[in-house]
Amino acid sequence: MSEQQPDPYFDLIVDEDLAKNEWPRGLDEVKAKGTQCIAINAITKENFEAFKDIKTEKAGWTIARAINTGVINPTSFLGCHAGDLESYEVFGKPLFNEVIAKYHGGYDVTTGTHVTDMDSSKITVVLNEEAKKKIISTRIRVARNIATFPLNPGGTKETRLEIADLMEKVFAGLEGDLAGTFYRHTTMTPEQQQQLIDDHFLFRGKDKMQAASGYHEHWPHGRGIFVAHNKEFLLWINEGDHIRIISMEKGGDVKRVFDRLSRGIAAIEEGLKKELGVEEVFMRNSTHGCITCCPTNLGTGMRGSVHILVPKLIKSMGFKAIDDFARERGCQARGSTGEHSEVIDRIDISNWRRLGFKECDLVQDMIKCANELSKMEDEITEDKAGEANPAPKSEDVKEEDDVETKTARSCILI
Ligand code: ADP
Ligand code: MG
């Protein structure tokens, strides 16, 4: 692709009117027709006009930049991103407060308090034996951003490189089962790249909705992945958020995965404190919890999941009904290889709630839901398993990171 032709999957393309800081022509029509896009529904012309000349200090974020992804991609579910912590405060009234309430089950940032608790000893609910047999793997991840930098959509090539350099120093201090190797996208060998692809670890950008907020600017500079020697502890650097911390392993020892994640987060936080010489290294506040580029990840920034083998249930109930069942229990269902992927014999069950709840409680929701699904699977006799209804339809699926519909999490090469 030549430099004259921007690539919508990587480059920041700003809507013509928003680029002039004007209310986008055609947006009234989109709103009148009705759209699922939360941000487009939340923003009004009146509020846009009232807030359009305000710029945040750290990222220079504006209301125009915040809604650009929703305007460019009107079929998206969420449609807005933040450039820094201040974005959530300054543009709370015209946009983010309503978006957050809509996505996070009515959570009110003007009165709510978010409390974190990563103590694994508080996980007292266990997977029962029958459920355990069905669990293929467990993965829990959190999103974190470093307080001294703007969020990546509002960042530069330099801030991305500084973050990667900083994290490299932190990685050098990790010990025991947390120690490992940092691979940068710019310098990894073809063999290393292939191995990371084979392990389903590597992310590669290429997401239109994220690109429209500037997530992928200066790709692949500053991007990287850290993999512990035992491959059970991983970090993504500058994929979207500054860091994604991931703990995963085969089987259903959820407490062990959570415990490793908890120790990992603490070790990263300690390392950053040492390097930066400040106490508060992560971007957060008492109302929004951890600050993330995408409002869907605010709070804990955590998604704890198990891959559970329930082939009869998938056949008899179908994906949609399983997802509805899970949602009533604070959980959600996903396809076997990530968001929007196909469902074959296993299903990804995780917490969908992130804000206003403690991490240990959210993980327990997921365990309880897995136990119930396992019981339902065992109650189905072969002849009762009906017609298959395996693939989640894009319009049935609630977007999380607002990734492009129907692509299995496009940052992963599968
Ligand atoms: P997230 O955005 O929360 O990291 P995605 O649904 O985008 O999650 O999936 C990211 C990757 O993690 C995918 O490759 C998916 O298959 C993998 N994954 C998620 N949960 C599990 C699990 N419990 N076991 C193994 N792999 C998992
Ligand atoms: Mg995802």
pLDDT at residue 44, as a whole number:
98
Asked if residue 282 is part of any domain, the answer here is: no
In the chain, pLDDT over 70 holds for what percent of residues?
91
Beta carbon of 407 within 6 Å of any ligand 1 atom: no
> How large is the greatest C-alpha to C-alpha distance in the chain, in angstroms?
64
Whether residue 2 lies inside any domain: the answer is no
The ligand placed nearest to the CA atom of residue 309 is: 1
Residue nearest to atom 16 of ligand 1 (CA): 337
pLDDT band at 398 (very low <50, low <70, confident <90, very high): very low
How far apart are the CA of 338 and the centre of ligand 2, in A?
Answer: 7
Neighbours of 406 (CB within 10 A): 14
Higher pLDDT, 405 or 235: 235
pLDDT of residue 285: 96
Nearest to 231 by CA among 261, 263, 199: 199
Residue in 80, 23, 18, 24 with CA at minimum distance from that of residue 50: 23
Angular region, 230: left φ>0, alpha ψ -120 to 50, beta rest: alpha
Ligand 1 centroid, distance to 251 Cα (angstroms): 14
154-167 tens-digit pLDDT: 999 999 999 999 99
Query: Hey, whose CA ends up nearest to atom 10 of ligand 1?
Result: 338
pTM: 0.91
> 74: domain CATH number?
1.10.135.10
**Which ligand is the nearest neighbour of the Cα of 412?**
1
For residue 198, give the amino acid letter: D
**Containing structural domain, residue 32:** 16-103
386 pLDDT band (50/70/90 cuts)? low
Q: Is 360 within a domain? A: no
Bond before 220 cis per omega within 30 degrees: yes
Q: Give residue 338's pLDDT.
A: 67
- The tens digit of pLDDT for each residue in 294-341 reads 999 999 999 999 999 999 999 999 999 999 999 999 999 998 776 667
Ligand 1 pocket member 139 (CB < 6 A) = yes
Q: Please indicate, yes or no, if residue 336 is contained in any of the structural domains.
A: no
Higher-pLDDT residue of 305 and 398 is 305
Alpha-carbon distance of 355 to 297, in angstroms, equals 8
The whole-angstrom separation of Cα 141 and Cα 143 is 7
Atom 27 of ligand 1, residue of closest alpha carbon: 139
Q: Quote the distance between the C-alpha of residue 143 and its chain's center.
A: 7
Cα-to-centroid distance, 375 and ligand 1 (Å): 24
Closest Cα partner for 352 from 33, 107, 172, 3? 107
pLDDT score, position 342: 78
Rounded distance, CA 83 to CA 66, Å? 8
Q: Is 337 in the pocket of ligand 1 (CB under 6 A)?
A: yes
Q: Is the pLDDT of residue 222 over 60?
A: yes
Percent of the chain residues past pLDDT 90, beyond the cut: 84
Residue 344 pLDDT class (50, 70, 90 cuts): confident
Indicate the burial class of 190 (C-beta count within 10 angstroms; 0-12, 13-18, 19 or more). exposed
CA-closest residue to ligand 1 atom 9? 338
Among 242, 199, 267, residue whose Cα is nearest residue 85? 242
Of the two residues 192 and 200, the one the predictor is more confident about is 192
Residue nearest to atom 8 of ligand 1 (CA): 338
Tell me which residue of 83, 103, 151 sits closest to 299, measured CA to CA: 103
Is the CB of residue 403 below 6 angstroms from any atom belonging to ligand 1? no
Identify whether 76 is part of a domain: yes
Q: Is 55 part of a structural domain of the chain?
A: yes
What is the predicted pLDDT for the residue at 387?
Answer: 52
Q: Burial-class residue 391 by CB neighbours within 10 Å (0-12, 13-18, 19+).
A: middle
Write the pLDDT tens digit of every residue in 51-91: 999 999 999 999 999 999 999 999 999 999 999 999 999 99
Q: Do the beta carbons of residue 279 and residue 130 sit within 8 Å? A: no
Indicate whether residue 305 lines ligand 1 (CB < 6 A): yes
Give the C-alpha distances (Å, rounded to integers) separating 344 from 309, 319, 337.
9, 10, 10
The verdict on residue 72 lying in a domain is yes
Within-domain flag for 74: yes
Nearest Cα to Cα of residue 167 among 42, 265, 268, 246: 268
Structurally, the chain folds into a number of domains equal to 1
Query: Which of 253, 260, 348, 352 for mutating ligand 1's site (highest number of atoms within 8 Å of CB)?
Result: 348
394 in ligand 1 pocket by Cβ < 6 Å?
A: no
| Res. 409: pLDDT tops 90 | no
As a whole number of Å, the CA-based R_g of the chain is 21
Beta carbon of 120 within 6 Å of any ligand 1 atom: no
